[in-house]
Chains A and B, each alone.
Chain A
Amino acid sequence: MLAIVVLAVPFAAGIASAVVPWRREIGWLCTATIGIVLVCGIGLAARVVHGPPITAFGGALRVDALSAFMVIVIGAIGVLATWQSVRYLSLEIAAGRSSRRHASLYSALVQGFVTAMLLAVLAGNVGVMWVAVEATTIITTFLVGYRQTRGSLEASWKYIAICSVGIAMAFLGTVLVYLAALHVGHHLHASLDWTSLMAVSHHLDPGVMRLAFALLVLGYGTKVGLAPMHSWLPDAHSQAPAPVSALMSGVLLTVAFYALLRFKAIADGALGVAFPRALLVAAGLLSLVVAASLLLTQRDYKRMLAYHSVEHMGLLALGAAAGTPLAIAAVLLHILGHGLAKGVLFLTSGEILHTEGTTEIAQVKALLARRPALGGIFGFGLVALLGLPPFSLFVSELNMVRAETQVGLGWAAAISLACMAVIFGAVMSHGRHMLFGSGPDGERVHKTPAIVTVPLIGGLVGCAALGVVAWPLDSLLRAAAQVVAL
């Protein structure tokens, strides 16, 4: 029942905002519906953490601990992004860059986007999940191109072309998994349900599964933003409106990663750990190296944040490659921590773009002196994202490295630490340039409205709280990790 509410409520709000011209109240209504999703996600988690999975519509929807955890992630970052969308749209309308009609389209698309992501994590069937992930691509293309500038049009073209190709590969991978399932014994009732695939995973034909898993890593990996399929990511994330960037970077990437985690569990059964691990380690390390080298010379702060996502997806891939319960629990905590920190940073970057009128790092100076609240949030966000305590990314990165060392991937962990050190230096120097220094004489200190700062500070406090006390999530993380861990 709760699972149906989770899908129906944001979808209904999307329909409502599509038919009425946009007003602030509609915006707040949308935020409230995502809040309901978050609460329902917590409710679902409480029920499945010690109990059996919940199913609806004859197994078409299936909630286990992993799905419930992803609903919480989507809900938490969704609340931040839709909250900030209200301000974004008001400002766009006030500046005459957008009409109320156009704004209602934005609102409806964002609701549809969130609903599609929720469907992807709640689907009990790999085929339905694929359809939902592809639907997110189509919906977000319009959001990336929302501003209708030359740059945003180019970014949306690149985005949909590359991601459609990627997701097509994932479809082929799905078809091959189905083919392998059809040829297990003399089952004629093979299906694409997670449960039945997991049940037969040890009997799937290894040759076919090897090809299938490689295609799935390439395909969903494109959507995750793993190198070398990441080239759409910096363009799309830098051109999209800030709340959309926050949703894409904070959750969409990890929803695709969720698909990989599920398929990896099946592939582990069919192929043993070595092959899936080798693929994920290769993709993870390449992503880290690419992110480190491109962050060094970055001149645009939104692109800097985008490449930072490539780094974190690489870390997740390494963690998943290790695959032990400890590693997967750390990966999941990292998904939530990265989502919150990256969401806050993209939303802050939208506010910086609004007040400073540029996305060039070189043009933004002395934020802390001139706009203390905004600068402070940006600074703490960077600290969180770079994995410093007390934020949860510190805990999750530490545990991922520990888990990798335990399974003999110490060398990969060492390379990842070296890349993280390079990235740390690069981002610190960019951040120092933007934050410190003294503003021009006589310029008064600007206040940032509380409506902007409250959700951002809330997100950062949440991220820090998760790093200090894992208590409310601990059992959920364990249960969720158990679903896909080795």
Chain B
Amino acid sequence: MSGSAYASSLEIASGVVLVCAVVTLWRRSLSAIVKALAVQGVALGVVALILGVGKHDGVLIAVACLVIAAKGVVIPALLGRVVAGDPASREAAPIVNVPASLVGAGALTFLAYGATGSVVALIPTTAGRLIPLGFATMLIGYFAMAVRRKAVSQIVGLLLVDNGIALVAFLATAGVPLLVELGASLDVLLAVVVLRVLAAQMWSKFGVLDLDEMRELHD
């Protein structure tokens, strides 16, 4: 791959990761949000793939295929089934409305650039320059978890956080050692499965999928 094609494809794929995060804030239909998440998972895998091809690193290419399978297909499918079971599958009243959320996402992206100056300075490559995108995705994930009250939206927020961190890990270090990478992905996958099981229990036992209706515990 020529140098400029490598750089620009890496930029596009990383950019898609961040754009998908913004889309999850913009759309209120849960099925659209889950689709954006699937696209993000694929884009993340493509970033790893480009880095793997660029460095002739077979392990990284294998990890990239796993990421595409897990984050692009399996996890969105799991979430899709919850959404299909919930008739009112819209984020009815997020605590912060959509225009304000988008402004928030912009502010968080600036913050991400500000916070990662020292990291970017350490890695003077194309990949290094893109690290703030991963941080921004992570921060948007936190934001989504804080302002969205649907069970599925919170899971999506967690996955945004995880995808953002994975993007930073790929760009900064071309992946942490394989054992840790696999352990981390497996743990996140399990956490999502657990959250899904809990959501199913909430739905079958109490008929709610809205965390505002789960307010028994307080001081």
Contacts and interface: CB of A to CB of B under 8 A. Distances in A.
B78 to A, nearest CB: 15
B172 A176 contact: yes
A130 interface: yes
Given A127-B183, A161-B158, 19 more contacts: A127-B179, A138-B187, A138-B194, A153-B202, A156-B198, A157-B151, A160-B195, A161-B154, A161-B195, A164-B158, A164-B191, A165-B142, A165-B145, A175-B176, A179-B119, A183-B123, A192-B176, A235-B217, A298-B219
A182 B173 contact: yes
16 contacts: A131-B180, A137-B191, A151-B217, A153-B198, A153-B206, A161-B154, A164-B158, A165-B142, A168-B162, A172-B138, A174-B180, A175-B173, A178-B173, A183-B122, A207-B118, A208-B122
Contacts of B116: 211
B187 A157 contact: no
Contact of B169 (A158, A175, A208, A211): A175
B165 A175 contact: yes
Q: Considering the complex of A and B, which 8 residue pairs feature the smallest CB-CB distances, nearest first?
A: A207-B118, A127-B180, A131-B183, A134-B187, A154-B214, A235-B217, A175-B169, A151-B216
Nearest to B183: A131
A153 B119 contact: no
Contacts of B106: none
A164 B49 CA distance: 27
A100 to B, nearest CB: 21
A182 B175 CA distance: 12
A165 B158 contact: yes
Contacts of B158: 161, 164-165, 168
Contacts of A164: 158, 188, 191
B189 to A, nearest CB: 10
A171 B214 contact: no
Contacts of A211: 115-116, 118-119
Interface string A128-158: 1011001101100110010010110111111
Nearest to B155: A161
A165 B219 CA distance: 23
Nearest to B216: A151
A450 B121 CA distance: 65
Contact of B168 (A138, A175, A210, A238): A175
Contacts of B56: none
B165 A148 contact: no
Interface of A: 125, 127-128, 130-131, 134-135, 137-138, 141-142, 145, 148, 150-151, 153-158, 160-161, 164-165, 168, 171-172, 174-176, 178-180, 182-183, 191-192, 205, 207-208, 210-211, 234-235, 238-239, 294, 297-298, 303
A389 B188 CA distance: 45
A179 B184 contact: no
B201 interface: yes
Given A150-B216, A161-B145, A211-B119, A179 B201 contact: no
Given A127-B180, A131-B187, A205-B118, A175 B217 contact: no
Nearest to A158: B217
Contacts of A137: 191
Contacts of B190: 138
B117 interface: yes
Contacts, number: 134
Nearest to A151: B216
Among A134, A191, A298, find the residue whose CB has the most chain B CB atoms closer than 10 A: A134
Contacts of B118: 205, 207-208, 210-211
A135 B206 CA distance: 28
A431 B178 CA distance: 52
Nearest to B180: A127
A130 B161 contact: no
Nearest to B182: A131
Nearest to B162: A168
B84 to A, nearest CB: 21
Given A175-B168, A294-B219, A207 B119 contact: yes
Contacts of A158: 217
A180 to B, nearest CB: 8
Contacts of A239: 217
Interface in B110-150: 115-119, 121-123, 138, 142, 145
Contact of B121 (A150, A207, A235): A207
Nearest to A133: B187
Contacts of A153: 198, 201-202, 205-206, 214
B56 to A, nearest CB: 15
Contacts of A154: 214-217
B85 interface: no
Nearest to A207: B118
Nearest to A142: B194
Among B154, B165, B191, find the residue whose CB has the most chain A CB atoms closer than 10 A: B191
Contacts of B205: 148, 150, 153
Contacts of B88: none
Among A141, A148, A153, A183, find the residue whose CB has the most chain B CB atoms closer than 10 A: A153
Nearest to B172: A179
B194 A141 contact: yes
B122 A205 contact: yes
A60 to B, nearest CB: 9
Contacts of A157: 151, 195, 198, 202, 211, 214
Interface string B26-69: 00000000000000000000000000000000000000000000
B164 to A, nearest CB: 8
Nearest to B128: A179
Among A154, A183, A205, find the residue whose CB has the most chain B CB atoms closer than 10 A: A154
A234 B183 contact: no
